[in-house]
Structure 1
Amino acid sequence: MTTVAKSTASNPADLPNDAPDPRGFLDEIDGEAAMAWVHAHNAASLAQLGQNPLFEQYRTEALKILEATDRVPAPNFATGGFVDNFWQDKDHVQGLWRRTNWDAYKSGQPDWQTILDIDALAKADGKTWVYGGSSCLPPANTRCLISLSDGGTDADEIREFDVTTKSFVKDGFFLPAGKQNASWRDADTIYVSREFTPGELTESGYAYVTKVLKRGQTLDQAVEIHRGEKTDVSAGRYPVRDITGAYVADASYRYLDYYHSQYSFHDGDRTVTFPLPTTSSFSALHEGQIVWWLKEDWTSASGRTFTSGSVIAFDFKQGMANPTAIEPALLFQPSAHESVEGISQTRNRLILTLSANVVGEIRAYSLKDGQWSSIRIELPENSTLSVGSADDESDRVFAWSSGFLQPSTLYLADAATGKVEKLRTAPSRFNAEGLQVQQHWATSKDGTRVPYFLVARKDIKLDGTTPTLLYAYGGFEVSMQPSYSGSLGKLWLEQGGAYALANIRGGGEFGPKWHEAGMKTNRQRIYDDFAAVGEDLIARKVTTPEHLGIMGGSNGGLLMGVQLTQRPDLWNAVVVQVPLLDMVNYTRMSAGASWQGEYGNPDDPVEGAFLRSISPYHNVKAGVAYPEPLFETSTKDDRVGPVHARKMAALFEDMSLPFYYYENTEGGHNAAANLQETARRYAIEYTYLAEKLMKK
């Protein structure tokens, strides 16, 4: 999609300080001029891609997969032997919160009873409600605080709901829309962190004031119990409970930046802050032990050193009595290629989800006579494993196993014995016959070996002609693991494409140090890692730049923008999803100020100079042959915001560079509020990729 030239400057994003921004009108999210621009470019992209017969084929096939009623309903343990599920299909676009009993679910023929119909609520309220989950008061868990956002924004409305009557409580707790948190203290008391006074938000746009709200009170009658600082990312206070639901203490937090937090615990008038690194994560309270996940090396008072990535625990009451003398027990210490992916608990066990060379393992830990021991849950090896739900009334765990070619399989695990029972496997959504998965290693610019997975035909011709899609994220310690995607398989692999997933630095695949290696001014390593994987695919003759495309979203969208501007020679298609792209001004856009711990401060001379050097918006140059990118975002995205993608696309337009642009007007940071919107987005992406990479 080509536009007329408007500028011949080397980069029109570089403006004199006193010059008006010609793309400034796009900063007004819902402004009339901005939305007219959005609708015009949406229409142009859909007209161009929609004329390809593949578009409707892909949309129909994707929607069929998304709305399939034979998929496995993801179960969650509920109080009293029930199983809950949130379900969406063609008849329930926004979704149902529903419940059945355990025996019925296990039988495979559950008699689902609707608790809350989000579609009916949306119709009654005239809103596009997106369900954000519930927080219920233990131990009965019949009174819940329901989160609802209009169109999928991070700002949500909170209402009190009675599960027994399946209705909202008349004159119950109600919090108008905002970026907020609410938690139960008791049946008539909640703690609320939100913007009580206009402007009383952090620079990142989150709450830092917590108040106690009693039943029947208005927000202006709530009493303050905790206050952070405006410079924090966010701050709050909430009740801490044990697995039975019994109140233990209050915890308060101040997120100093994205990776440093100050946790304090309150027992009556006593407040204690444990002498642990501010990078540590408070992960659980189990059998009287407080469990922490370390993100850097730490030495206790006795001189014992616990390494980064370890999980430790110590007696909570003893720690509260004498915090300077805590001597934790070591539960897990990772090797160089191991990491912790998650921590949960059942009634009597602590559950750690682990990864070794991006292959999963789940272990159950128990405490007896002051000593910790663990057993392996007997789930399939060489697959991605995850805990779907852990029961706080027993030691049962719903666990999932999946892979690129293996549909998700649900298991019931006994955390006390390690034994598992296969419950059901999702149907295959694409023909995987003849496909294989391989793990390769590329060598980055600084000599670091970087793993990646390649999904391709066993008889692939190593002549450089295979259309290949490369995906990565590379940030915030988020691990990219093999998973089953029916849409990817049906719309890409089944059509003859290959798929590569890169485990580049910045992620959490090999623990905190793998992430830290790419933070702030070291971030170029992440971009070098990704380029090295692309070059390795070419060196192996899997593909060539003509047939190689890349995709990534959010932080991965920034990765795509950098690859677009730094290595335009390597790719012929670039899908840039809900991205950050203006790294000079990102801290003043939506929630950008909260990510300085990851990216650095643009106002710092050293960090700011680096950010400008990699900022995609500031590094588009005249006279360079860029691949024609696809920019995707959402008007309702109040986390990253649509302005990054809008202004990058407008910059391309001003420089007469071809591009596609699509902005979903709902959906938030997920870029889709329902299954139909998701199917349309898939059709846009894969039609674009097919046109760019599958042509002869």
Structure 2
Amino acid sequence: MLRKSLMTGAAIAILATTAQAETIAVPEYPETYSQDVVETIFGEEVADPFRWLEDDVRNNPEVANWVERQNSVSGAYLEQMPANAWFKGKMGELLNFERFGTPTRAGEHYFYSYNSGLMNQSQYFVRDGLDGEGRLLLDPNEWSDDDATALAGTAPSSSGKYLAYAIQDGGSDWRTIRFLDVASGEAVSDEINWAKFTGMQWVGDEGILYSRFPEPEEGQDFQARNFNQAVYFHRIGADQSEDQLVYSTPDRPALGHVGLTTDDGRFAIILSREGTEAKQEVHVVDLAKRDEMGWKPRTLVGGLDHEWNPIESVDGTLYFMTNQGAPKYRIVSIDMDAPTLEWKTVIAESDMPISGASIVGGNLVVEYLKDASSQAVIFDLQGTRKSDIALNGIGSAGGFGGSPSNSETFYSFTSFNRPSTIYRLDLDTNETRIFAQPELTFDPDNYGVEQVFYPSKDGTKIPMFIVKRKDVTGPAPTLLYGYGGFDISLTPGFSSSRMAWMEAGGVFALANIRGGGEYGKEWHDGGRRANKQNTFDDFIAAGEYLKANGVTSEDGLAIQGGSNGGLLVGAVVNQRPDLVNAANAAVGVMDMLRFDRWTAGRYWVDDYGYPDREEDWKVLRAYSPLHNIRSGEEYPAMLVTTADTDDRVVPGHSFKYTAALQAADVGEQPQIIRIETRAGHGSGKPIDKIIEEYGDILSFLAFHTGLAVPSE
């Protein structure tokens, strides 16, 4: 038996903070048995004593029992956190305001999501005309007893006659697609199963393109690796067994495919990629010739060399956003009716990376990132700059969808201290008006948002946002968040949990470390594969900056990250346990030697490398959180969080990592795990579960950094 007990006889470890008088005993961990599993990999013996914890909870009673016992321990401990009830109450207050999604127009219908405040799942409405009365179409709160069945995507047909919508159950990545008749609100009997990583793209009102995988073997739906994705066409009124295969590559099973359609109904575009890196092949189907040619595609871009994101089609010309010859992206066009296909640059690369583009009313709306904050510019279709869209300071803008034949677009703007406001913009008149604005329970002007640039280990300047109440003037417990992977940019946005932390008097910091997409391809490449250590160095340097510059106190730094960010937290705690005082590693990738064996993990080799290749394996072995726990070091208080139904980063990662922490000699701070049920990787989680989970997380981090919440 491998086991770590922190309570021996009368010698009970007691934790206390200078800001809180309460004392709480560190829990005794449940017993976790170990196996004699040792493999020799590239000449090194690697032990894996907790491999049995990789099994699916639903299929292995021993794993289920382990989860129950761990939750019993962590639940009892977290209930004792002095600020637990305060944080849950504060989050309830902060979430209790009306929230609207950015509208989608189809015909004369406007479709949007709506939440009155504390609904577990947002509802879905339609308006007939912009100023029409909202009519409820879908209420996911009625779909399950625990409200863990969520609306995971919507797509109105071209005229707005039908609505396709995706259902997510228990947080899984699998989707069930169903349909509604919009006029009557009645369900259409069609149902599509085993869809995953898919869009729902309409061909007129006729049917949709969607992506699916073969049905997995029984009991393997949450663990089997995802291969042989294919694009199908489903015609309204037909059974799924009659769906037409549009595109597949059985000779290249690792390729994933998604089908898109242009607003004018002229083209279907098939994008194919092998991993998470944005390198795609592009095939085009001329839908005007479907009667004679069927779904036969024309290759537009072969080879997985660059990113090609379709924007739209206008008069037979396709517009794309690409990083071919432009690490920060450019916009190009190609006339599909010309005798010879030729790419033309419409908008050249600039010093700000392009993060998105759309064509609205004969205009190109181009979104840029300037030091991780949104900018938006309007061009004509020849690339001449017309005007800038005025945004409300440092923040994130999103949306800008619409049609080349209509000048109307909607967009949202949010920042750390401001929930999303939805705007309607008419590009013909340049008139902007508010479509929906939340009424808040706090004053955004009471919070300051600052951006600093600090040096990493190699001298690279890294941007970091620092947000706090303006009356917080001295060092204060600080929550530092990071991600650093998969070309994903972290931009300013509202979070009730972060706001609750700041309402309590804490500081929130977000570091835009390498591996993300904040500065284009070079920034991403600087934090992946053999350069992954830069990501950890950047995050460590952020913590050092916060302490050296009096933002936080010497014993007041908490770090947090999820998924790839959970890996970040695990690696940084291993490398600099002295820097961190409390940590939350959420749904993290913790076993870097076996991550590619489950579900979507095999896609991640683009960012991490291949565990079966010696050169990559040595890099992975050097930082894998599971394999680099430093027994004999004093570790910070660690709360690992995951869900038993996570089929993106399977919970075995967190299970094995926690078992290894509890078995090691890492000092007297708690090393516990909180395991949610029917919550998956995070999307679709009910509001009540979010409040409960983050109340536990924030109170844990507060207790171990000395953050004392205001007395009521």
TM-score by length of 2: 0.85
Query: Does the aligned pair in 1 maintain the 2:110–2:130 contact within 8 Å?
Result: no
Query: Does the aligned pair in 2 maintain the 1:578–1:642 contact within 8 Å?
Result: yes
Summarize the alignment of residues 8-407 of structure 1 with structure 2, pairs less than 5 Å apart: 21-30=49-58, 31-66=60-95, 68=96, 70-89=97-116, 92-104=119-131, 111-122=133-144, 128-138=148-158, 140-170=159-189, 173-179=190-196, 181=198, 183-185=201-203, 187=205, 189-196=207-214, 204-214=225-235, 218-229=239-250, 232-236=253-257, 238=259, 240-241=261-262, 243-244=263-264, 246=265, 248-259=266-277, 260-267=279-286, 268=293, 271-274=298-301, 278-287=305-314, 288-297=316-325, 307-318=326-337, 321-323=339-341, 326-335=342-351, 338-367=352-381, 371-380=382-391, 382-392=393-403, 394-407=406-419
Q: Which moved more, 1:48-57 or 1:604-613?
A: 48-57
Shift of 1:220: 4.4
Query: Does the aligned pair in 1 maintain the 2:318–2:335 contact within 8 Å?
Result: yes
The equivalent position to 1:440 in structure 2, one of 443, 447, 452, is 452
Shift of 1:239: 5.5
Distance 1:155 1:689 in 2: 33
| Cα offsets for 1:412-466 (capped at 9, x unmatched) | 222235442345543344455654222211111111111111123556555xx41
Secondary structure, aligned partner of 1:104:
coil
Distance 1:187 1:207 in 2: 28
Summarize the alignment of residues 458-469 of structure 1 with structure 2, pairs less than 5 Å apart: 458=470, 460=472, 465-469=475-479
Distance 2:680 2:235 in 1: 32
Shift of 1:127: 8.1
Query: Does the aligned pair in 1 maintain the 2:98–2:117 contact within 8 Å?
Result: no
Shift of 1:487: 3.3
Query: Does the aligned pair in 2 maintain the 1:557–1:578 contact within 8 Å?
Result: yes
Summarize the alignment of residues 497-536 of structure 1 with structure 2, pairs less than 5 Å apart: 497-536=506-545
Secondary structure, aligned partner of 2:310:
strand
Distance 1:423 1:276 in 2: 43
Distance 1:189 1:402 in 2: 35
Shift of 1:535: 0.8
Secondary structure, aligned partner of 2:593:
coil
Look up the equivalent residue of 1:505 and give its one-letter code. Answer: R
Q: 1:281 to 1:232 in 2, by over 3 A?
A: farther
| Cα offsets for 1:199-222 (capped at 9, x unmatched) | 799984155233445566544444
Query: Does the aligned pair in 2 maintain the 1:203–1:232 contact within 8 Å?
Result: no
Query: Does the aligned pair in 1 maintain the 2:268–2:285 contact within 8 Å?
Result: yes
Distance 1:39 1:58 in 2: 25
Shift of 1:520: 0.4
Query: Does the aligned pair in 2 maintain the 1:5–1:655 contact within 8 Å?
Result: no
Secondary structure, aligned partner of 1:400:
strand
Look up the equivalent residue of 1:51 and give its one-letter code. Answer: Q
Secondary structure, aligned partner of 2:584:
strand
Cross-structure match for 1:646 = 655
Length, aligned pairs only: 660
Q: 1:618 to 1:270 in 2, by over 3 A?
A: closer
Look up the equivalent residue of 1:266 and give its one-letter code. Answer: V
Distance 1:648 1:92 in 2: 34
Query: Does the aligned pair in 1 maintain the 2:93–2:441 contact within 8 Å?
Result: no
Secondary structure, aligned partner of 2:131:
helix
Q: Which moved more, 1:189-198 or 1:573-582?
A: 189-198
Q: 1:404 to 1:266 in 2, by over 3 A?
A: closer
Shift of 1:22: 3.7
| Cα offsets for 1:597-628 (capped at 9, x unmatched) | 11111111111110010100000121111112
Distance 1:554 1:334 in 2: 31
Q: 1:197 to 1:98 in 2, by over 3 A?
A: closer
Look up the equivalent residue of 1:445 and give its one-letter code. Answer: K
Shift of 1:83: 3.0
Q: RMSD across aligned C-alpha pairs, in angstroms?
A: 3.2
Distance 1:579 1:272 in 2: 38
Q: 1:12 to 1:572 in 2, by over 3 A?
A: farther
Query: Does the aligned pair in 2 maintain the 1:42–1:661 contact within 8 Å?
Result: yes
Secondary structure, aligned partner of 2:681:
helix
Q: 1:618 to 1:33 in 2, by over 3 A?
A: same
Query: Does the aligned pair in 2 maintain the 1:521–1:607 contact within 8 Å?
Result: yes
Distance 1:675 1:5 in 2: 30
Distance 2:481 2:118 in 1: 32
The equivalent position to 2:433 in structure 1, one of 409, 412, 421, is 421
Query: Does the aligned pair in 2 maintain the 1:635–1:664 contact within 8 Å?
Result: yes
Distance 1:224 1:422 in 2: 43
Q: 1:231 to 1:644 in 2, by over 3 A?
A: farther
The equivalent position to 2:592 in structure 1, one of 566, 583, 596, is 583
| Cα offsets for 1:78-135 (capped at 9, x unmatched) | 3244432222357743332112345537xxxxx3311122223436xx9842111223
Shift of 1:686: 0.9
Shift of 1:507: 1.1
5+ residue gaps, structure 1: 106-110, 298-306
Query: Does the aligned pair in 1 maintain the 2:577–2:635 contact within 8 Å?
Result: yes
Distance 2:197 2:175 in 1: 7
| Cα offsets for 1:559-616 (capped at 9, x unmatched) | 1111111111110011111111111110013311011111111111111110010100
Q: 1:94 to 1:7 in 2, by over 3 A?
A: closer
Shift of 1:315: 3.1
Query: Does the aligned pair in 2 maintain the 1:13–1:618 contact within 8 Å?
Result: no
Q: Which moved more, 1:536-545 or 1:583-592?
A: 536-545
Q: What is the identity percentage for the equivalent residue pairs of Structure 1 and Structure 2?
A: 25
Q: 1:674 to 1:575 in 2, by over 3 A?
A: same
The equivalent position to 2:481 in structure 1, one of 440, 459, 471, is 471
Secondary structure, aligned partner of 1:523:
helix
Q: Which moved more, 1:524-533 or 1:181-190?
A: 181-190
Cross-structure match for 1:303 = none
Distance 1:189 1:103 in 2: 26
The equivalent position to 1:563 in structure 2, one of 554, 560, 572, is 572
